[in-house]
Chains A and B, each alone.
Chain A
């Protein structure tokens, strides 16, 4: 049972990459842009394959895939937090620039709102659980 769980954890990252590739493929077919769909699927499949291959040589990549190591999980969390902050700054910056230009603030206003609601929701849920 433990081995099955560990294997599923290991397949999580490449699995998500392939699912994104399939989403690109379907979007390409629906949007009548087959080239985008095929290239998107091929690219994301290559990314999934690269993760699997790199995991054989890099303890960090392996750790990011199997999620067993608390230090790697901490690194992943901090890296995600950093990326999130950069994204927030970029969205707010773009929103302010659009306002200054007198242009449409979409989609930056919506993205900022989603981020704000997600943050408040997460704080409420985490506060109830801890």
Chain B
């Protein structure tokens, strides 16, 4: 599964650390999600999508 979290984050001009703080997770977890090594839980995926004012389907999708 692919995602556009890194693109959304850079568009919003925020750091991984700031996004991690907003999501209540570690910076490493944000990095792992962006590189596709870690697939977040549904609550975290929804929180990420809401943070960037988009949908889960647009943020996470099948390659």
Which residues of A come within 8 Å of B, CB atoms?
Answer: 59-60, 62-63, 68-72
B51 interface contact, C-beta 8 A: no
B32 surroundings in chain A (CB, below 8 A): 71
Decide if B27 touches A70 in the complex (CB within 8 Å): no
Seed contacts A62-B26, A71-B38; 19 additional CB < 8 Å A-B pairs: A59-B26, A59-B27, A63-B26, A63-B28, A68-B24, A68-B25, A68-B26, A69-B25, A69-B29, A70-B25, A70-B29, A70-B40, A70-B41, A70-B44, A71-B26, A71-B29, A71-B32, A71-B40, A72-B29
- Tell me, in angstroms, the Cα distance from A72 to B41 when the chains sit together: 12
- Tell me, in angstroms, the Cα distance from A26 to B62 when the chains sit together: 57
Chain B 23-54 interface mask (CB, 8 Å, partner A; 1/0): 01111110010000010110010000000000
Which residues of B come within 8 Å of A, CB atoms?
Answer: 24-29, 32, 38, 40-41, 44
- Tell me, in angstroms, the Cα distance from A116 to B11 when the chains sit together: 52
* Identity of the chain A residue whose Cβ is nearest the Cβ of B43 in the assembled complex: A70
Decide if B28 touches A60 in the complex (CB within 8 Å): yes
Distance between B61 CB and nearest chain A CB, rounded to angstroms = 20
- Tell me, in angstroms, the Cα distance from A35 to B27 when the chains sit together: 44
- Tell me, in angstroms, the Cα distance from A42 to B13 when the chains sit together: 48
Decide if A59 touches B44 in the complex (CB within 8 Å): no
A68 surroundings in chain B (CB, below 8 A): 24-26
User: Closest 7 CB pairs between A and B?
Assistant: A71-B29, A69-B26, A69-B25, A59-B26, A59-B28, A63-B26, A71-B38
* Identity of the chain A residue whose Cβ is nearest the Cβ of B41 in the assembled complex: A70
B24 surroundings in chain A (CB, below 8 A): 68-69
* Identity of the chain B residue whose Cβ is nearest the Cβ of A62 in the assembled complex: B26
- Tell me, in angstroms, the Cα distance from A36 to B26 when the chains sit together: 39
